[in-house]
Amino acid sequence: MIPENLTAVKAQIHQACLRHHRAPEAVHLLAVSKTKPVAAVAAALNAGQRDFGENYLQDALPKIAQLPEATWHFIGQIQSNKTRDIAAHFDVVHGLASEKIARRLNDGRPKDRAPLKAFIQVNLVNESSKNGVSPQDLPRLVAAVKDCQNLQLLGLMAMPPATFDLSERQTFFTQLAVIRAQLADQFSLPHFQDLSMGMSDDLETAIACGATWVRVGTAIFGARQPQEDD
């Protein structure tokens, strides 16, 4: 099932790229494997998928230990007591949202590993329930992360509220793309090119607006059991 699902999702991404004049190689698939067993990740890896997203540290660590050849993305909220393990075991984080967490990840990154790649998560609608830095505080955070030797800033990540329809999402994704371009300019960041936005039900809209990473779980691995935070 997993290889077939992957093929279908990749075809969907490819079609969206063709329809919206995006280079297919510019849009990457992050397979969200949170709560799924290591065998499911191995099946996807064998089918050619490299990048996997995890939200729960304790659930992810054994999978990373068994499949170190995959590229591991931490896509959950980054709590300060988890920064050392996240910095030690992951390749990319998508939810960077404060200077304090940036400093802790930077300090925790082992010196024998390449810099930890990071997306700053932006809170574009000021919902208190959602994580992310406000657009006002974003330049300060970018400046702080730029000074972190062991972090490499890739771009921005954001999640529209579940209640948004596709046209509201389009506005939301476009806003994020504009902010990214402004920051890349303002801070002369040549590698600040990525936008992690779009999930199963809005990936075409996200791709139309410039997404370079779409995060898809259920469509690849099937439905999840509800999970408590670790």
Ligand X SMILES: *Cc1c(COP(=O)(O)O)cnc(C)c1O
Shorter beta-carbon distance to ligand X: residue 182 or 194 = 194
Q: Which of residues 136-155 bind ligand X (CB under 6 A)?
A: none
- Asked if 32 is part of the footprint of ligand X (rule: CB under 6 A), the reply reads yes
- Are 74 and 87 in contact by the 8 Å Cβ rule? The answer is no
Does 55 help bind ligand X (rule: CB under 6 A)? yes
**How many residues in the shown chain lie near ligand X by CB under 6 A?**
10
Interaction of residue 198 with ligand X, rule CB under 6 A: no
- Name the token pair of 115: 């810099």
Residues near 208 by Cβ (< 8 Å), separated by ≥ 6?
A: 16, 19, 20, 22, 170, 173
d(CA 54, CA 194): 19
* DSSP E strand boundaries for 116-183: 116-121, 151-157
Fill in the per-residue mask, 75 to 104: x = in contact with ligand X (CB under 6 A), - = not in contact.
x-----------------------------
Nearest residue (beta carbon) to ligand X? 217
Q: Is 10 in the site for ligand X (CB under 6 A)?
A: no
Which of these segments, 13-21, 82-90, 167-175, 216-224, binds ligand X (CB under 6 A)?
216-224
199 binds ligand X (CB under 6 A): yes
Nearest approach, Cβ of 120 to ligand X (angstroms)? 14
158 close to 123: Cβ distance less than 8 angstroms: yes
**C-alpha–C-alpha distance, residues 150 and 77, integer Å:** 20
Among 68, 218, 229, 230, which residue sits at the site for ligand X (rule: CB under 6 A)?
A: 218
Residue 55 Cβ, how far from ligand X at the closest point, in Å? 5
Q: How far apart are CA 150 and CA 103, in angstroms?
A: 9
Using CB under 6 A, pick the residue from 34, 104, 109, 169 that binds ligand X: 34
Taking the C-alpha atoms of residue 70 and residue 63, their distance in angstroms, rounded to an integer, is: 10
* 216 lies in the site for ligand X, by CB under 6 A: yes
Query: Considering beta carbons, is residue 31 or 153 the nearer one to ligand X?
Result: 31
Extended strands (E) in the chain: 28-32, 51-54, 71-74, 92-96, 116-121, 151-157, 194-196, 213-216
Residue 5 DSSP symbol: H
| Chain contacts with ligand X (rule: CB under 6 A) | 32, 34, 55, 75, 199-200, 215-218
